Structures are given as structure tokens and as C-alpha cells.
Amino acid sequence: MTARTALVTGAQQGIGAAAARAFAVAGYDVAVNWLDDLAAAEAVAADIRAAGRRAVMVQGDVGTAASCAALVQAAIEGLGRLDVLVNNAGIFPRVPFLDMTEAEWDRVLDVNLKGSAFCAQAAARHMVATGTKGVILNLSSSSVRGAVLGVHYSATKTGVIGITRSMALALAPHGIRVNAIAPGLTDTAQPRHGNTEAELAEMAKAMPLGRMGRPEEIAGLMAYLASDAAEWITGQVYHINGGVYLA
């Protein structure tokens, strides 16, 4: 049987790296999209190969439709097919709302929202053309409830939910499933850009389960949603945040 394949954007670190490893363990060959840390991406690829799966490296920025199409095509050429796309790449440059510039707004929307939409479009076009009943997973965030230093970020992660639901409806006739995952505070480099370790510890204590999430926990949910066990699930948003957001 031909192995299933997955492309994970932003896979050089954090949740993306954990997702790439989780898909390899689940039996997928994986395309590792990376931006600016070749050594980190190579380490992820090495772990995929150690799990007995193929890994291909795909460098690229998801900030334009053209770059999205190019990196998806590179993944398809490297793996031979594409069954799963994980839209994980994203940025969260903290900035007070009153100081936010148009350029900062545009960059966050380009990467987080436009990138997710056009990577999904490129992947879905391939899936439809090849008759692949594929899966697209989009990364939202608990910041849909608001982020004091991330008006632009919150806007994109709320938008991800909207495009997830709309793409799920548009692609259902082709047997392609689309879901979103909204992590809470997770132990990655991202929250450390705007908080001290002491502040992170206090934030973790405030959660009902009393700790930050682990990237592997987010990745485990991704692997399940991509599996045949979840084949009747589409258009949904899964909040995984230790109980901080119960609705």
C-alpha cells in the first residue's frame, strides 16, 4: 500500500515539529516546511526518518498565495501525493493596539489567515484532481477570546474558524474534511516572546488543570482528526487548553 503523506507548515519548532513527529509515528511520510532554521528542521526530519518514514524538507514563507502554491507543490513532488495538510505556520508579534501599524496588521493577516487559506486551496486542488479524500487541519487559538497585545493575531485566529467552516462545506462534496484546533497556552517558544518564565508559571497555575499544554498533546489531537476514526468529523473547532475555555 502507498503510505499516506502529510505536509506540516511551520514545522521547524513547537507545535508544528510535534505534529510532524506524531504523523510519522502514525505511519505518514511527512513534508517539513521550515522558514529560517535549517538545523531545527533537519532535526525534525531526522526524527521522522528514525520512525521509519520518509521526510522531505520544504523551505518557504506562507505569506503570499504564490509561495503557498509553491511549497505545496514541492511537498507533492517530494512525497508523490498529499493526504493531509496541517496549517500550523503563524506569527504573533506583540504590539499595543494604539501603536499597531498597517504594516504589522497586514503581515500577521498575510501569514496567519491568507497563508492558511491559500495553502488549503493548493492542497485541496491536488486532492480533488487526484480523487484523494484528504484532510486539512487549521490552527486557531484560544486568543479568539481576545489578546490584549494581539488585536491582529486574534482577528486572524477568529478568521481561521470562519474559513474552516466555509472550506468544510465547500470541500465536503469531494470527501475532503476540514477542522480547526484552538490551543491554549502551550509550552513552546511563542509565549516566551512576550512573557517571563515567572509570568508563564503564574498563567499556568491559573488554568483549571494547573499547567501549560505540551506540543505533543496538540499533535495527538491532530493525528486523531486525520485518522479514519474521525472520518465523520468536519467543520469543527476543537479547543484544547486545560479547561481555561469551557464553552
Annotated catalytic residues are 141, 153, 157
Report d(CA 242, CA 1) in Å as an integer.
38
Compute the chain's Rg from CA coordinates.
17
Q: Is 100 exposed, middle or buried (0-12, 13-18, 19+ CB in 10 A)?
A: middle
> What single DSSP character describes residue 62?
T
State the sign of the Cα–Cα–Cα–Cα dihedral 20, 24, 28, 32.
positive
Q: Measure the CA–CA gap between 34 and 10, rounded to whole angstroms.
A: 5
Which residue type does 139 have? L
Given the DSSP bridges, would you call strands 29-34 and 135-139 parallel, antiparallel or unpaired? unpaired
> Is 180 within 8 Å of 160 (Cβ atoms)?
yes
Grid cell 484546533 — which residue?
181
H or E element, residue 42: helix 38-50
